[in-house]
Amino acid sequence: MLLDKQTFAPLQGNLPQFVAMYGDVSSQEFAASPNQALFFGNSGVVEGLLKPAPGNLTERLSKLSDASALADELYLAVFGRRPTAAEGGSVAAFLQDRQDRDVAIREMTWGLMSSNEFRFNH
pLDDT tens track for 62-118: 999 999 999 999 999 999 999 999 999 999 999 999 999 999 999 999 999 888 888
The amino acid at 31: A
- CB-CB contact of 105 with 94 (8 Å): no
Average pLDDT (10-27) is 55
- Tally the C-alpha atoms within 13 A of residue 83's C-alpha that lie toward its C-beta: 21
> Quick one: pLDDT at residue 99?
93
Give the span between the Cα atoms of 88 and 79, in whole angstroms: 14
- CB-CB contact of 111 with 86 (8 Å): no
Query: Which tops the pLDDT comparison, 58 or 15?
Result: 58
**Where are the domains positioned within the chain?**
50-122
Q: Which residues contact 21 (CB under 8 A, 6 or more apart)?
A: 35, 36, 39
